[in-house]
């Protein structure tokens, strides 16, 4: 019995020693693989985007749009990504009575801000083997969803005094939006790529133009624009 107790004690001591060595080794590995500020900085992306947009309901004209983004990627060409974006464009409208404006044929400017969350899928022959041992590849496809806001600005003209002098003022209107995007990306260099993207933005509430069109019975409910864009992906490292 005493021998059994001694053997169990020695086994316990050896097991504790091996466990401690294993924990120390894991700690060293964890420290070696610790995510640093440099890793975060290297994962930042500064895309510049240009495109065209149109509204399927036809109440506004087609437009050119430009956007600037600041993004972060878990991995450069696969995996999750997040970015904030600022998009600006203008559309023309006709024969609409706009809230806050006395211009029935005019132009509306949109400034849109949002935060997108998405995922990139690598375009490789064996995707299972790729995830087991990732490597650099030039092509990927991506999808994303972006909640945000759209700020519509229209003009209103008022007379100043008795003279034929007029003043033009801005009238702003904000609605929440939800944007869905999909695209393909090609890395020319390890820190520089180009991409093409298609997106649809759903207005969760009627914009100031859509309100006027609904009142005019031109449309029944809010929708949003479809945009086709190309862009450049530029990394710090």
Q: In this structure, are 150 and 90 located in the same domain? A: yes
pTM of the model: 0.79
Given pLDDT bands bounded at 50, 70 and 90, which one contains residue 20? very low
Q: In this structure, are 170 and 229 located in the same domain? A: yes
Q: Domain tally for the chain?
A: 2
Give percent of the chain above pLDDT 70.
82
pLDDT digits (tens, 9 = 90+) for 199-231: 999 999 999 999 999 999 999 999 999 999 999
Q: In this structure, are 6 and 69 located in the same domain? A: no
Q: In this structure, are 179 and 128 located in the same domain? A: yes
Q: In this structure, are 7 and 49 located in the same domain? A: no
Q: In this structure, are 68 and 138 located in the same domain? A: yes
What is the reported pLDDT for 139?
Answer: 95
Measured distance CA(14)–CA(150) in Å, rounded? 65
Q: Which residues contact 220 (CB under 8 A, 6 or more apart)?
A: 214
From 10-24, 35-49, 183-197, the region with the lowest mean pLDDT = 10-24
Q: In this structure, are 125 and 221 located in the same domain? A: yes
What is the reported pLDDT for 10?
Answer: 41
Domain extent, residue 209, equals: 35-234
Q: In this structure, are 28 and 46 located in the same domain? A: no
Q: In this structure, are 75 and 116 located in the same domain? A: yes
Domain at 220, CATH number: 2.40.160.20
* C-alpha dihedral, 202 to 45 to 67 to 203, nearest 10°: 10
Q: In this structure, are 87 and 179 located in the same domain? A: yes
What is the reported pLDDT for 236?
Answer: 72
Q: In this structure, are 107 and 149 located in the same domain? A: yes
Helices then strands, counting H and E runs in the chain, come out as 4, 9
Mean pLDDT of 48-62: 93
From 119-128, 134-143, 156-165, 175-184, the region with the lowest mean pLDDT = 156-165
CA angle (40, 46, 49) in 5-degree steps = 150
Q: In this structure, are 114 and 14 located in the same domain? A: no
């Amino acid at each position: 019995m005493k021998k059994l107790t001694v053997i169990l004690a020695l086994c316990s001591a050896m097991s504790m020693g091996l466990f401690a060595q294993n924990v120390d080794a894991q700690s060293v590995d964890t420290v070696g693989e610790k995510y640093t500020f440099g890793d975060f900085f290297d994962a930042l992306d500064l895309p510049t985007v240009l495109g065209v947009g149109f509204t399927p309901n036809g109440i506004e004209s087609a437009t050119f749009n430009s956007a600037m983004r600041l993004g972060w990627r878990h991995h450069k060409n696969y995996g999750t990504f997040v970015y904030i974006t600022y998009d600006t464009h203008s559309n023309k409208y006709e024969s609409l009575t706009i809230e806050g404006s006395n211009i029935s044929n005019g132009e509306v400017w949109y400034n849109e801000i949002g935060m997108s969350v998405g995922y990139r899928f690598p375009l490789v022959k064996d995707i299972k083997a790729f995830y087991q041992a990732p490597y650099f590849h030039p092509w990927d496809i991506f999808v994303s969803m972006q909640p945000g806001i759209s700020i519509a600005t229209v003009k209103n003209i008022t007379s100043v005094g008795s003279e034929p002098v007029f003043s033009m003022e801005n009238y702003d209107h904000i609605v929440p939006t939800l944007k869905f995007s999909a695209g393909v990306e090609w890395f020319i260099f390890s820190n520089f790529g180009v991409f093409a993207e298609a997106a649809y933005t759903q207005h969760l509430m009627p914009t100031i133009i859509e309100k006027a069109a609904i009142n005019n019975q031109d449309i029944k409910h809010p929708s949003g624009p479809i945009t086709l864009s190309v862009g450049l992906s530029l990394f710090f490292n």
